[in-house]
Structure 1
Amino acid sequence: MVGSRRQQIVDAARALLAEDPESTLAVRAVAERAGIGPSTLRHYFPTQQALHEAIFATALDDAPSEMRIRDTSVPAETRLRECLVQLLPPPQPMSRAAADRMLTVLSTTFGSGSTAEARNAWGAYTVRTLDAIAGWLRVLAEQGAIPEAGIPRRARFLLAVVEGMALSRIVPVARPTGDEEEGVLDDALSVVFRASAPR
């Protein structure tokens, strides 16, 4: 029952965020959506940080979609680009509240007060994302669109590029323009579609 009640609360909080990305996830609002009292919510999540960590961990459980990666009627580079773009946060400028939430997640995961749960969630997300990227590349290699050699390295390279782009969207300093991001992604894809693996 404990697990299901915790998940009920997390699902309620995620639903509120889906409806309103600016939501502060006030205890009363989340509790009401979950159909429980505020004190029950605080029993399971004593702090807002604990609730945010749980939301973050479950969000990372969402597997990346294959989208159109197998659709040979679409150019291979376009298909791979679409798959990679889904890994990025929304491109529009983030509100202060949304950016602060993301920075809190990063601090919770990597800062001095980081928790094992947050680090494990991030590690699991990284492994799953790396596997997804490698899977997309294998599909393209099977179709003859890219060489089979070096897929693990290419996947790790693309993950590093996407993670860097994601961070640049979150941190409000020197945020790249849409054209600059397109250029970075073009450069990364040109490496992947070259005849030799990246060195």
Structure 2
Amino acid sequence: MPGNESSKLISIPLLNILAISGSLRAASTNSALSAGLAQNAPTGCRVIVYDGLGRLPIFNPDDEGERTPPQASALIDAVTAADGVIVSCPEYAHGVPGGLKNALDVVSRDAAVGKPAMLVHASPRSLFARAALAEIMRTMSFALFEDTALEIALLGKKPPEVDRILSEPASQLAMHNAISAFTDFIRSR
């Protein structure tokens, strides 16, 4: 009935989440996990996988503002437009890979400030990188969501096995639930 408040549908805006893999490898398990998140996003949420990490120039503060390279501007715009960011990061020599650190430096000014972010992991052994990445992102003023951890052990698996693991109902549910918890965090801010 017109005018009946209970008959009106409540519209919840679509959330856009940017997923960034910290790996440049063609057969990266972290990139596969990022793609899996996009495929298992809950209703009302879209996960967009960023694939420009390897094309970013080395961050140089002298090249900001009007001198910002187009690839860097595209990443800054993508992070700014996203409602949240998910990072899946490998560990190299007990640290964060240089390409991912470079990408974070690119967005470290205004795009990162207060931006909800969540870390996910494709390896149970990446403990040093996890701690370092969390510290870097907190320092850059990301609003780090740490209540729910998603780890799907893909380390050392070949692509067919990675695909099989990510298509298992338990893995799909874990990805769906992690993103759902993250979207609740985003909406509560």
Higher helix share: 1
Same fold, TM-score > 0.5, yes or no = no
Higher strand share: 2
TM bucket (normalised to shorter chain) is under 0.3
Higher relative contact order (CA 8 A, sep 6+): 2
TM-score (norm 1): 0.27
